[in-house]
Structure 1
Amino acid sequence: MEPIWVVGIILVTIFLLLVFGSTLKSLKLVGQGIIKILIGAFLLFFLNALGSNFGIHIPINFITAAISGFLGIPGLAALTVVQVWII
């Protein structure tokens, strides 16, 4: 095999790894974000189910699910404080 073919195959392989590797990484980040938003929606559902005895109801929408999903329990507590004291 001639050296030009070897160099060409190596360059094409590197290019393909760079293109597909970065695409898979961004898809992984999007997937993790969607999973966190779904977890936030479940947290809000359970808060609404348990908080109905105390008059706490936080609507489940994209913004509140994203806040509680990405911030976790502190985000859920912040949404509850906003709902109880501000609204």
Structure 2
Amino acid sequence: MIIWAWGIGTLVLATLLIVVGVKPLLRWIWRFCTKWVIGLVLLFLLNRYGQAYGWYVPVNPVTTGIAGILGIPGTIALVYLYDRSSY
């Protein structure tokens, strides 16, 4: 089963490299990773200093991606969603 996943992943990556090119694909991957790290830092700061107000957002790839791509408004939306889900 795992060999099929590797094969499909390799095929998708090869297709992207042919269609898009190496340099734009690497630039896109770099931007995505940078935004993911920014989201990680935002969630870390929120969880560190928001505990006084009862704010906590779990740190996982989905919430980190949302916080990184949407920035501070996305992080505020996550706080609102997780605060509302505790009722």
TM-score normalised according to structure 1 size:
0.73
Whichever residue aligns with residue 33 of structure 1, its letter is: F
Deviation per residue, 1:36-70 (Å, 9 max, x gap): 00100000000011111111111111100000000
User: Percent identical across equivalent pairs?
Assistant: 34
Deviation per residue, 1:7-57 (Å, 9 max, x gap): xxxxxxxxxxxx6x8211101101110010010000000001111111111
Cross-structure match for 2:28: 29
- Whether 1:80 and 2:56 are equivalent positions in the alignment is no
**1:7-22 equivalent positions in 2, closer than 5 A:** 22=21
**Root mean square deviation, CA, Å:** 1.4
Q: Tell me the secondary structure at the aligned position of residue 59 of structure 1.
A: coil
Counterpart CA distance in 2 for 1:56 and 1:28 is 34
Q: Which consecutive segments of 4 or more residues in structure 1 shift more than 4 A? A: none
Q: Tell me the secondary structure at the aligned position of residue 55 of structure 2.
A: coil
Cross-structure match for 1:63: 62
Q: Which consecutive residues of structure 2, in runs of 5 or more, have no partner in the other structure?
A: 1-17
Give the number of aligned pairs.
68
TM-score normalised according to structure 2 size:
0.73
Counterpart CA distance in 1 for 2:55 and 2:70 is 19
Q: Tell me the secondary structure at the aligned position of residue 39 of structure 1.
A: helix
Higher Cα Rg: structure 1 or 2?
Answer: 1
